[in-house]
Structure formats: C-alpha cells, structure tokens
C-alpha cells in the first residue's frame, strides 16, 4: 500500500473507465463524470423547480403554510431527478464504462422508509420509471430538510437529556441545531407517531439516494452521520444515550454507520437493465454535500479555508484536534480517517442575496455588481443583518436589521457607537449584505478555531462565479481567494462528438463525489484504505482539479489599514448580534 503524503504517485485507474459523481442539493441534482485521467468529460443537472414542476417546489423545497418553520422536500422528486439525469447520460454515452458511482447530498434531511420498503427496492421493474414504484415504500411522502427550523422544543429536550448543549456538542460534534436529524426524528416520533411506527428505516438524503442505486438500504456514512446528534464523534458509533434521548427503537431504524470510503455494493439490476451500467459497477458510500466539496476542492492543508456560497453558505476547514463549540459542526473528514472537518453553516446564503438583488438591483446580478462597485469598502459604517430565513448563526428569527456605526476612524471599539436605521440607499443595501455575510463568517470562524486569517480561501458554490463578491471576501479575510475551475471545456465522450470540446460547469460537490467514486474503486481494488491523494497526486495540476487565483491579496499599507478597520467592524458586528439575540432570539 502507498504511504501518506503529497508526493504519492497516483495509483492507476483502469484505462477507458469513467467515475460518476452526483450532488443532490437543495435546488438541483447535478452530476459530473471523470475519466481515468481525472478530466471532466461530462456534467449535467436537473433543476427541481423548473425540470420537475409537478412537485410544486420553490427553491427545491415546500414550506408548510400551517406550521411556521416546517420545510420539507418530496423524496420521490429526488428519485425522479435521478431517473431523468441518468436517462440523459445514457442517451449520450456508454454507461458500461462507469467503474464506480458515488454521491453527495444536502445534509441532515431524513427520509422515512415504510415496512417492507427493502423488498420494493430489490424488486424494481427496469421497464418502469423509479418514482412511481417507490410511492408505497415511504412511510411519509415528505422529508424534513436542513432548512427546517420547527424543532426548537425537541432541541431543548435532547440537550437537556444529554447534559446540556456544550456536552452534546462535545460528544456528538455539535449542539442540537433545529436542522439536525436527531431532533427532526424526535419531532416525527412526537407529532406523527403513526409515521414513526410505520418506519422501518430512516435514511439521510445521501443514504436514500445510495439505497436507490444498490436496491437495498444503504448505510449512513460516518461523515454525514455526524450531523444527526446521534453519533459519538470519537468512536464514530451510535451513542445509546443519544438514541434514548431521541426516540424509542431508533438504533434498528438507523442501522449500521459506515466509513465514507466503504464500497457497499454493486449497482442494482434495475440500473444495469434500464441504463446499461455494467453489473460490476461499484456504488461507493454517498456523503454530505459539504464533505464532498472538501473532497472536490482537495482541501488538505490546515491553513486553507473553504467558503461555499450555495443555497446555504458554509465555511469549513480541516483539523486534527477539533474543539467542540456551540456554533460549529465537527465531522469526520470523509477522505482522511485521521482528521476532522470543522464547519459553520448559514441558512441565509444565496436566496437572501437574491432577495436583496430583487429588491434593490432590478433582479439582475449585473445591476447588483454595478451597485457594489459604486460603493466603497466599509460602506461608511453601514451594517446589515438580513435574515430572510430563520438563521442558524446567530440563532435569530426572520427579520432585516440595519445599523450605522460611527467613529470607526477612532480605531477603538469603546468609542464606536451604532444607530438603528430603517433602510439604506440601494447601493449601500447591496454592499451591506455582502460585507455583512463575510464579517459574520470571519468572526464566527475565528471563534470556532478555524484558521483566521487563512493562508488562502477556496471559494465554491453558485455565487463564487461572482468575482466582485470574491473581492470583498479577500479584503475582509485579508488573504487571496482561489476558485476551483467552475466552468471550462471538456471532451465530449459520446461517439459522434468524441474529442470535441464542449462547455461544462463544474460543481465541487459532484466533482468530489466522482473523485470519491474513484477513491472507493481503488480502496476496493487494493483491499484496504489507500490515501485519497493516491487518486489525484501528481496530476491535479493537469486536470479539472486545478485551482485558479480569482482575487489576489496585496498586503500594502492601504489594504492593511482596511483590514484593521474590518477587524473592528467584525467585533462591533458580534456585539450587535448579541443585542439582537437578547431582543429577538429564542436561545441562550
């Protein structure tokens, strides 16, 4: 077996093989295909709202008008998206070449399988689409997703039973956040006991999708499993006390947890017959979208910080000595069993930026960017706190709050004062949301022990295509910002187009899943775990994995002075957050 380290020579992947990675995120199902040289040869996506309008989702989710904060998605929509995307690939390419498949999915969401669902999964008819065959296999037609914030009562109960929020965070990797799967399951048990009783197995979105592919219940992987408040972060096993604090008979409903690199099974006959996969095609454990992004960005240096600007905004890095906190999440690193991933998650990401764009910038990113450029860094002390959704960090309900901070030039927090404001001029609103989000990320990242200032930031997610947004990120964090190649040309691999370059957009989570598929294939071939870098080492510069510098950071006098002023604004912002929590918040 190869030893660890970056100078590893890559292990050979079979010539002509392909590796398929999915990302079942909040708004879409995306897929990336890599060849044996790790070049992206195809990418595609199904957008839930527009491609599957019959599910009636908005941004991929359904909001319950009868219960504030209850946000769900239909699992059958994800199954139908899988069918649709594979149908498109099968029409263009020879899926027999796919040696392994893996995937990524939004974290925390829970799917409730009915009794005997395993039998339905094993007996799918390849002549018929997937979704209608699964309708009877679900104990509930809807899955609560990560955006749900209706479990505050269950969070308090679980924390109390586990000896408090800090202890729960120390043993499971995070306190009980509303989106965590344990409190979500407890709510189903308490409020819909018939659904809970009828449930044979609870899957996360990741293991639900893997179950479809293997035609049996797939294990929850240890990385995504850390977002449940049920797994011991040190032993990576379910904890009896946490299971008991959540719901009865839960252990059998969750099943065994497995490492992210485990190769559970071969692809099921349904996919072999319907889409012509080889029956030898391996299905590698699916995991969460943030862990897969970590893999796709090949994040391996503790000085690097990744910031994902998707539906949620997340900030993450790696460490070998994680410090549990009340704000962040600690997860096992999906590609290195010896280290951990530390992550912050914001619910007000892209959809809230879009709301400000729609209100103040004519619904256009071009206008938004023009307004951003028309304002100066620091925004004249204007600070915005925009919560279109009930926020996780800080825990605050829906509401927009605006302040103007005076005396920033005094250089002292004591002399700075703030005044509440109703609404800023349009350009200032635009700068206030962008600067506000990054000031918050910097302040909270520092409190969770993430590297601040980082050596560099690697930005990903939909909004990372906006260089002006990244420019603000670089000034506030005081470091250069890199992006993975978000888009580029790839060789078409269907026969009439062979070797013709076609444009694709590359998503880091599905790219990470495709790399994890290749890694799982190698682990299976070697009969043991091999370091993840064996997949890409020595060839990342030549492939779709290479990073490019999006915004440099020059540490001249002007930029350092600006950075120092941002440091003061970070402190002021955290102070105002505390005041807002006292006024509106529901938690300590």
Interacting residue ranges for ligand ADP, rule: CB under 6 A: 25-28, 310-311, 350, 353-354, 365, 461-463, 465-466
Query: Least Å distance between CB 351 and ligand XUL?
Result: 12
Q: Which one, 462 or 478, has the nearer CB to ligand ADP? A: 462
Given a contact cutoff of 8 angstroms between Cβ atoms, the answer to whether 223 and 206 are in contact is: no
Residue (106 or 379) nearer to ligand XUL, CB? 106
User: Phi-psi bin for 381: left (phi > 0), alpha (psi -120 to 50), beta?
Assistant: left
Residue 466 binding result from ligand XUL, ligand ADP, none, given CB thresholds of 5 to 8 Å by partner type: ligand ADP
Q: How far is CA 529 from CA 25, 263, 370, in A?
A: 28, 11, 50
Query: By C-beta, is 10 or 462 nearer to ligand XUL?
Result: 462
Residue 28 binds which of ligand XUL, ligand ADP, none (CB < 5-8 A, kind-dependent): ligand ADP
By beta-carbon proximity to ligand XUL, the closer residue of 281 and 345 is: 345
206 or 567: CB nearest ligand XUL: 206
Q: Which tokens belong to 557?
A: 């006098």
Residue 288, contacted partner among ligand ADP, ligand XUL, none, CB below 5-8 A by kind = ligand XUL
E-assigned strands of 461-498?
A: 481-484, 487-491
User: Which residue, 365 or 421, has its beta carbon nearer to ligand ADP?
Assistant: 365
Q: Which is nearer to ligand XUL, 242 or 272 (CB)?
A: 242
Residue 95 near residue 44 (C-beta atoms within 8 A): no
Min CB(393)–ligand XUL separation in Å: 10
Q: Rounded to the nearest whole angstrom, what is the least distance from the CB of residue 462 to ligand ADP in the complex? A: 2
**What is the nearest approach in angstroms of ligand ADP to the Cβ of residue 113?**
25
Query: Residue 57 binds what, of ligand ADP, ligand XUL, none (CB under 5 to 8 Å, by partner type)?
Result: none
**How near is the Cβ of 174 to ligand XUL at its closest, in Å?**
9
What is residue 384's three-state secondary structure?
strand
The tokens for 463 are: 């909004």
* 33: Cα separation from own chain's centroid: 19
The interface partner of residue 345, options being ligand XUL, ligand ADP, none and the CB cut-off 5 to 8 Å by kind, is: ligand XUL
Q: Which is nearer to ligand XUL, 430 or 458 (CB)?
A: 458
Q: How far is the CB of 108 from ligand XUL (least distance, A)?
A: 5
Residue closer to ligand ADP (CB basis): 333 or 508 = 508
Q: Tell me which of ligand XUL, ligand ADP, none is bound by residue 365, counting a contact when its beta carbon lies within the kind-specific cut-off of 5 to 8 angstroms.
A: ligand ADP
- Which of the choices ligand XUL, ligand ADP, none does residue 314 contact, using the CB cut-off of 5 to 8 A by kind? ligand XUL
How far apart are CB 118 and ligand XUL at their closest, in Å? 26
Q: Which residues of the chain form contacts with ligand XUL (CB under 6 A)?
A: 25-26, 106-108, 146, 179, 227, 288-290, 312, 314, 329, 345
Smallest separation (angstroms) from ligand ADP to the CB of 292: 11
**Going by C-beta distance under 8 Å and a sequence separation of 6 or more, which residues neighbour residue 349?**
309, 310, 311, 312, 313, 437, 461, 463
* β-strands 399-406, 382-387 pairing: antiparallel
Under 8 Å between Cβ of 262 and 520: yes
Cβ at position 110, least distance to ligand XUL in Å: 12
Q: How far is the CB of 427 from ligand ADP (least distance, A)?
A: 16
Cα-Cα-Cα-Cα dihedral of 376, 382, 387, 392, to 10°? Answer: 90
* DSSP structure string for 524-563: HHHTS---THHHHTTTGGGSTT-EEEEE-----HHHHHHH
Q: Helix 365-373 to helix 467-477 angle, to the nearest 10 degrees?
A: 40
354 binds, among ligand XUL, ligand ADP, none (CB under 5 to 8 A by kind): ligand ADP
Reported in sequence order, the residue ranges of 188-337 that DSSP labels E, i.e. its strands, are 199-204, 220-221, 257-258, 265-266, 282-283, 287-288, 304-309, 313-319, 329-332
Work out what residue 108 binds among ligand XUL, ligand ADP, none; the CB cut-off runs from 5 to 8 Å by kind.
ligand XUL
Name the binder of 437 from ligand ADP, ligand XUL, none, CB < 5-8 A by kind.
none
Least distance between ligand XUL and beta carbon 23 (Å) = 9
169 versus 568: smaller Cβ distance to ligand XUL? 169
Q: Indicate the residue among 184 and 350 with the shorter CB distance to ligand ADP.
A: 350
Task: Return the residue nearest ligand ADP (CB atom).
Answer: 462
Cβ 25 to ligand XUL, closest distance in Å?
A: 5
| Among ligand XUL, ligand ADP, none, partner that 10 touches (CB below 5 to 8 angstroms by kind) | none
Strand order in the sheet with 399-406: 382-387, 399-406, 417-421
Closer residue to ligand XUL (CB): 62 or 100 = 62
Q: How many CB atoms lie within 10 A of CB 500?
A: 12
CA gap 504, 490 in Å, rounded: 7
Say which entry of ligand ADP, ligand XUL, none residue 292 contacts (CB below 5 to 8 A, set by partner kind).
none
In angstroms, rounded to a whole number, what is the distance separating the alpha carbons of residues 386 and 363?
17
Which among 21, 181, 40, 180 is positioned nearest to 104, based on CA atoms? 21
Q: What whole-number distance in Å separates Cα of residue 506 and Cα of residue 496?
A: 23
- Residues present in the chain in total: 588
From the list 70, 31, 25, the residue with the least C-alpha distance to 48 is 25
């Amino acid at each position: 077996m190869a030893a660890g380290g970056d100078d590893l020579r890559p292990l050979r992947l079979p010539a002509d093989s392909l590796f398929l990675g999915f990302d079942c995120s909040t708004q879409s199902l995306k897929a990336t295909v890599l060849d044996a040289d790790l070049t992206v040869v195809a990418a595609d996506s199904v957008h839930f709202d527009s491609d599957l309008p019959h599910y009636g989702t908005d941004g991929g989710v359904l909001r319950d008008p009868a219960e504030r904060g209850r946000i769900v998605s239909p699992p059958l929509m994800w199954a139908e998206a899988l069918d649709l995307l594979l149908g498109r690939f099968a029409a263009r390419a020879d899926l027999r070449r796919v040696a392994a498949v893996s995937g990524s999915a939004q974290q925390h969401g829970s799917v409730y399988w009915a009794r005997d669902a395993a039998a339905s999964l094993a007996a799918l008819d390849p002549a018929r689409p997937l979704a209608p065959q699964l309708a009877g296999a679900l104990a509930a037609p809807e899955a609560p997703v990560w955006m749900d914030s209706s479990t505050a009562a269950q969070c308090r109960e679980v924390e109390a039973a586990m000896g408090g929020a800090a202890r729960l965070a120390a043993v499971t990797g995070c306190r009980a956040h509303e989106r965590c799967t344990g409190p979500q399951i407890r709510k189903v048990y308490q409020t819909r006991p018939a659904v809970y009783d009828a449930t044979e197995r609870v899957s996360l979105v990741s293991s639900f999708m893997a179950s479809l592919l293997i035609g049996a219940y797939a294990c929850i992987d240890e990385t995504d499993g850390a977002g449940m408040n049920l797994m011991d972060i040190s032993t990576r096993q379910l904890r009896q006390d946490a299971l008991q604090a959540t719901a009865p008979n839960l252990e059998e409903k969750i099943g065994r947890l497995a490492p992210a690199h485990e190769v559970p099974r071969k692809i099921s006959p349904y996919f072999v017959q319907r889409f012509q996969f080889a029956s030898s095609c391996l299905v590698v454990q699916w995991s969460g979208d943030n862990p897969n992004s970590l893999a796709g960005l090949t994040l391996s240096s503790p000085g690097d910080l990744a910031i994902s600007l998707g539906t949620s905004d997340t900030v993450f890095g790696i460490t070998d000595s994680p410090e549990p906190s009340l704000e962040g999440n600690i997860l096992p690193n999906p590609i290195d069993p010896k280290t951990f991933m530390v992550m912050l998650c914001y619910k007000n990401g892209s959809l809230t930026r879009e709301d400000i764009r729609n209100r103040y910038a004519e619904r256009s990113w071009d206008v938004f960017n023009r307004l951003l450029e028309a304002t100066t860094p620091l925004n004249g002390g204007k600070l915005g706190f925009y919560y279109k959704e009930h926020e996780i960090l800080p825990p605050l309900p829906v509401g927009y709050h605006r302040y103007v901070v005076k005396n920033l030039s005094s250089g002292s927090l004591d002399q700075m004062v703030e005044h509440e404001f109703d609404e800023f001029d349009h350009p200032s609103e635009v700068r206030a949301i962008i600067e506000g989000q990054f000031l918050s990320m910097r302040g909270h990242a520092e409190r969770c022990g993430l590297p601040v200032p980082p050596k560099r930031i690697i930005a990903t997610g939909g909004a990372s295509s906006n260089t002006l947004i990244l420019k603000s990120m670089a000034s506030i964090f005081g470091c250069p910002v890199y992006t993975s190649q978000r888009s580029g040309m790839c060789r078409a691999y269907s026969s009439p187009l062979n070797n013709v370059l076609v444009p694709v957009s590359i998503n880091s989570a599905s790219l990470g899943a495709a790399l994890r598929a290749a890694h799982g294939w190698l682990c299976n071939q070697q009969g043991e775990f091999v370091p993840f870098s064996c997949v890409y080492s020595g060839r990342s510069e030549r492939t779709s994995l290479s990073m490019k510098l999006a915004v440099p950071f020059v540490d001249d006098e002007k930029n350092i002075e600006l950075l120092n002023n941002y440091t003061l604004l970070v402190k002021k912002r955290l102070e105002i957050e505390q005041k807002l929590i006292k006024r509106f918040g529901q938690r300590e």
